[in-house]
A and B are shown apart, each in its own frame.
Chain A
Amino acid sequence: MKFIITLALTGFLAFVCGVYSSIPWWSFAITSLIVSMAIHQKPAKAFWSGFLGLFLLWTVLALLKDSANDHILSAKVATILPLGGSSVALVLVTGLLGGLVSGLASLTGSYLRKTN
């Protein structure tokens, strides 16, 4: 239950940060860290809840944009990055990047809480 709550809270706060588009893209790293400190879990669980919170958020947001767009832009960007023109790969890379940053921040939060 704790896992689901932290995951949801991490994702929700990251979304809220994103709505305020004048703050940096990585602001969610701070909210993920705070969530992880507030709701303590073991390091591994903290990492995965933080990771999945952002992975799911970014993947779903990207998928929504991508399907409304008929993959026009993602197919182009996936040749620039380079991902062989695969929209799916680009969505997954998007989710992985967000997830990784959030997961590491959550992990740090978990360790920090223990230290105190």
Chain B
Amino acid sequence: MRILPTIISGLGTAALVILLNTQLPAGAGKTPRLGYFLSPQLGFWQNAEPVNTDFNANIELKGLKAKVDVYMDDRLVPHIYAENDLDAYYTQGYLHAKFRLWQMEFQTYVASGRLSEIVGEERLPTDRFFRRLGMVYGAEQTMTNMEKNPEMKATVEAYADGVNAYISSLKPEQIPFEYKLLDYQPEAWTPMKTYLFLMFMSYDLTARGAVTDLTMTNAKNYFGMEDFNKLYSNVQDSLDPIVPVGTIFQQPAIKPVAPANIDSAFLHATKNNSTAMAPMVPDRDNGSNNWVVGGTRTKSGRPILCNDPHLGLNLPSLWYEVQIQTPTHNTYGASFPGSPAVIIGFNDSIAWGVTNAGRDVIDYYDMQFKDSSLQEYMYNGVWTKAGQREEVIKIKGKPDLVENIAITVFGPVMYDRSYKNISTEGKYLALKWTAHQAGNGLQTFYQLNRAKNYDNYLSAIANWSCPGQNFAFASKTGDIAIKQQGAFVARWNRQGDFIMPGTDSSYRWQGMIPVQENPMMYNPPRGFVSSANQKSVDSSYPYYIGAAGSFPLYRGICINRKLYEMENVTPEDMQHMQMNNYNVFAEMARPLILKYLDQDALTATEKKYVNLMKYWNLNGDEKEKGATVFKCIWDSLETSIWGDEFNRSKLPFPKPDASTLLEALIRDPNFSFVDNVNTPDKKENINDIVLTACRKAVIRLQSADSANKLEWALYKDTRVNHLLKIPGLSRLHLPIGGGEHMINATKEMHGPSWRIIVHMTDEIEAYGVYPGGQSGNPGSKYYDMFVDSWATGKYYRLLFLQKEAAAKHERIKWHITFTNS
């Protein structure tokens, strides 16, 4: 009698369980398995960390040589005291995993093109791009090289062991939140993952060229070389290089010679049109500031080093603070979850900081293959056998995809007939990139962590190859220095700015610039060194350093101008300087706009907005409306001047630099691009264009105004996104000024990812802050603990403690001991 109800309710139960145990489609993604996710004993509730969590613990692990003491301070920064280096890195790996496991694994999934494996085929374009870019290939080269060094091999392995010790201690309900949300499991960590992560940093800081070399080729072919040189001029009138103008450079060891056919085959060639666009491009403002003020300019008579690397702002943060003390060194700073050692910081003798060099280290060669099997290619008149590389991409719920990549004398063939678009049809573009060459990656930081003086610093960075960086240095003994270091190509003028012919060796890289010829400054009479991603040298440097588009001008001008004026500098002055929102670009551009703007032609409303800019104090502070007006008018001016010519083609072109347009108009208001080519019967002059631009900007400003978003911070709307771009896990609408061209380079989703100031007094006085928190768990109160301080320009005094002091310091809250089991 009751069979039917039994079956119905039984099936109903089963159906409900199956439904709640399935990832359901929702918008662009999928839901978690809701039953699992909401289960209080297994799911996300387990990640709701009690706000009064006690982090004290005695942890027994296999693989330690001796006891390790870790003191956690009130910001959850670990101070690691180990009796030997390997134990310290083992513990660092364990702690990175304990607080950042999901992030560190996710980042390596991104780097190695494995997102489809966990997310599904919608991430296939990114995965294919990274595989074909040779991310895994490059990481393998570096790993093979580093494994020859027993010390580095042991370091990276000890770190991996520590990560794995944590992973294997995890009970199913303890895995980080995002694994539950996306429904996958952590896998074992390997030394290769550390190299993949570092490869990602090489990508982020040097791979814009993988896109811009294609778009610049488009622009050169479309506009012709003469106009190209106007649009993407390599001349920067107001440049204040890292190494000051007037520096005498030594005779170059290599004299790169341009091929004889450069005019016909390269500069004025019009083939090779390419619209290949990467699914993602590193931000053009991936850069940074660093400077060191020497003792002659500081109140204490000791140097002060400052650094703020500008990168994408993410939660969990790229950075994780740590102090590591062993018998060989005592070092504090920001580390990368995923890598042992400290990346930017100081020890008890020296401090160092880095900014991106921006040099062009990535090129394309147009290859000729015998047929689409990619077995043989033409090189110097002979069919040459290509290497073959297989990249297998696993896809969640789908069969694997295999990428077959030919390897040429230049490097992997990134674009071929299986990876193409309309314009690359039939083309084989091989990629040559210094990140594919075996680097020494971590060793530089390993040595900097232990450096005692200037000589140690020089030898630590001597073998650094990619990404090229400006390494700033300060020591307690009063030395200051900066050196641009990396594997840089000895280029002839414009070499590699466009796709190069690859059928013979004439366009090859002719050599790398010897390390001793890299730009540098040591204890300069002016009493400071600085860098802000501008060109490191003026045109008297004997090598071509790459197209100007990679070298922003104005932050460097502002920093140097300020430092020249400053005396009796204190760390507090430096805090204000890192947060400085003065816009040198606007200082130069506003007079130009006002000069050519016929203000009598404006309506009362238009005038109201223009006046906000006219009487603006040139600071991109949080509440400044003038900053918003200036930004809108300038953007509108750029669109009015470039838009008519650029929109005639469907090809993607690089956006010309703001400095190029500004300097062109200062030099000559009759600049040829000013005329609107869409009005053939009329020739517009600069006054017409400025007026049109202002009027268009006002329309935009009115809508911002009516939405109550005219104040600069509201208009700019800075946010720190979770790595999965989920708004609920991100910090939105942050009250912070700054932006492009300003020292405080905080844009919408990009900016100072770690601010550090180190005063080299006997007892080091250091300050730092980053827009995140030490815990990567969205359910922890430490997840975004520093974000508000970061936004409002507050710093934390960094605790740099000897072990005995740590044990009883008032800001030390917890003690974790690690012993061998």
Q: Which of B14-65 contact A (CB under 8 A)?
A: 16-17, 20-21, 34-36, 38-52
B2 beta carbon closer than 8 Å to chain A: yes
Q: How far is the CA of A74 from the CA of B177 in the complex (A)?
A: 12
Per-position 1/0 for B555-582, Cβ under 8 A of A: 0000000000000000000000000000
A1 beta carbon closer than 8 Å to chain B: no
* Chain A residues within 8 Å of B780, by CB: 72
Q: How far is the CA of A21 from the CA of B13 in the complex (A)?
A: 22
Do B779 and A25 touch across chains, with their CB atoms under 8 A apart? Answer: no
* Chain A residues within 8 Å of B727, by CB: 79
- Closest CB in chain B relative to A25 CB, distance in Å: 4
- Closest CB in chain B relative to A42 CB, distance in Å: 12
Per-position 1/0 for A21-46, Cβ under 8 A of B: 11011100100010000000001000
- Which one of A65, A72, A114 contacts B40 once the chains associate, using CB atoms below 8 Å? A65
- Closest CB in chain B relative to A56 CB, distance in Å: 12
Known interface pairs A18-B40, A25-B39. Does A111 touch B5 (Cβ–Cβ under 8 Å)? yes
B679 beta carbon closer than 8 Å to chain A: no
Known interface pairs A66-B48, A107-B9, A111-B2. Does A22 touch B34 (Cβ–Cβ under 8 Å)? no
* Chain A residues within 8 Å of B821, by CB: none
B6 beta carbon closer than 8 Å to chain A: yes
* Chain A residues within 8 Å of B1, by CB: 114-115
Per-position 1/0 for B498-533, Cβ under 8 A of A: 000000000000000000000000000000000000
In this complex, what residue of A is CB-closest to B727?
Answer: A79
Per-position 1/0 for A62-94, Cβ under 8 A of B: 100110111011101101100001000000011
Do A21 and B16 touch across chains, with their CB atoms under 8 A apart? Answer: no
Do B172 and A22 touch across chains, with their CB atoms under 8 A apart? Answer: yes
Number of interface residues of A (CB under 8 A): 42
Do A65 and B45 touch across chains, with their CB atoms under 8 A apart? Answer: yes
Do A69 and B35 touch across chains, with their CB atoms under 8 A apart? Answer: no
A100 beta carbon closer than 8 Å to chain B: yes
Q: How far is the CA of A24 from the CA of B35 in the complex (A)?
A: 10
A48 beta carbon closer than 8 Å to chain B: no
Do B34 and A97 touch across chains, with their CB atoms under 8 A apart? Answer: yes
- Closest CB in chain B relative to A40 CB, distance in Å: 12
Number of interface residues of B (CB under 8 A): 45
Do A70 and B781 touch across chains, with their CB atoms under 8 A apart? Answer: yes
B728 beta carbon closer than 8 Å to chain A: yes
B173 beta carbon closer than 8 Å to chain A: yes
In this complex, what residue of B is CB-closest to A94?
Answer: B38
* Chain B residues within 8 Å of A66, by CB: 45, 48
Q: How far is the CA of A12 from the CA of B31 in the complex (A)?
A: 29
A52 beta carbon closer than 8 Å to chain B: no
B171 beta carbon closer than 8 Å to chain A: yes
Do A115 and B50 touch across chains, with their CB atoms under 8 A apart? Answer: no
A7 beta carbon closer than 8 Å to chain B: no
* Chain B residues within 8 Å of A73, by CB: 44-45, 47-49, 177, 778-779
Do B6 and A115 touch across chains, with their CB atoms under 8 A apart? Answer: yes
- Closest CB in chain B relative to A7 CB, distance in Å: 18
A61 beta carbon closer than 8 Å to chain B: yes
B729 beta carbon closer than 8 Å to chain A: yes
Q: How far is the CA of A58 from the CA of B39 in the complex (A)?
A: 7
B601 beta carbon closer than 8 Å to chain A: no
11 A-B residue contacts at CB 8 Å?
A21-B171, A26-B21, A68-B48, A69-B48, A73-B48, A80-B726, A97-B20, A97-B34, A111-B2, A112-B10, A114-B2
The residues of A with any CB-CB pair to B shorter than 8 Å are 15, 18-19, 21-22, 24-26, 29, 33, 43, 57-58, 61-62, 65-66, 68-70, 72-74, 76-77, 79-80, 85, 93-94, 97-98, 100-101, 104-105, 107-108, 111-112, 114-115
Given contacts A26-B20, A101-B17, A108-B10, 19 further A-B contacts (CB under 8 A): A18-B40, A21-B41, A24-B21, A62-B40, A62-B45, A69-B779, A72-B778, A72-B780, A72-B783, A73-B47, A73-B48, A80-B726, A94-B40, A97-B20, A104-B13, A107-B13, A111-B9, A112-B6, A114-B2
Closest 4 CB pairs of A and B: A18-B41, A73-B779, A79-B728, A61-B40
The residues of B with any CB-CB pair to A shorter than 8 Å are 1-3, 5-6, 9-10, 12-13, 16-17, 20-21, 34-36, 38-52, 171-173, 177, 181, 726-729, 778-781, 783
